[in-house]
Amino acid sequence: MAWERLRTIIEELDVAAQVDLWSEKFARFDDAWEGLKWLLARTPDLKEAMLWGDGSENYRAYVAAGDPLADTPDIWVVYVFTETEVVILGVQAVERENGG
């Protein structure tokens, strides 16, 4: 079994504030957020993520689809990553598509 590379997750200050707000709005947001951070810490180079950049830094946008059974919202994140960390620059949560 290969060793896993686990990156440190860093939330920008406004992201942390948004996470607090979304946690109040959506009962299961915290569970979905922790799962998304777990995913990004292990595999931030997701093939489903939209990629753009200026050459010096590559930004990525990814949507973690909500789940009707788990009652979680869609979570959108914008982030950058290096070999050792993932920096989450923005987050948005919305009622999941096809609401149930």
pLDDT digits over 27-73, tens only?
899 999 999 999 999 999 999 988 887 767 789 999 999 988 888 99
Range of the domain at 58: 18-94
- Residues constituting the chain: 100
| Inside any domain, residue 9 | no
| Inside any domain, residue 99 | no
Q: In whole angstroms, what is the distance from residue 70 CA to residue 64 CA?
A: 13
Domain tally for the chain? 1
| Inside any domain, residue 13 | no
| Inside any domain, residue 66 | yes
Q: Are 32 and 63 in contact (CB under 8 A)?
A: no
| Inside any domain, residue 51 | yes
pTM: 0.85
Q: In whole angstroms, what is the distance from residue 74 CA to residue 96 CA?
A: 5
User: Token pair of 89, please?
Assistant: 């620059």
| Inside any domain, residue 70 | yes
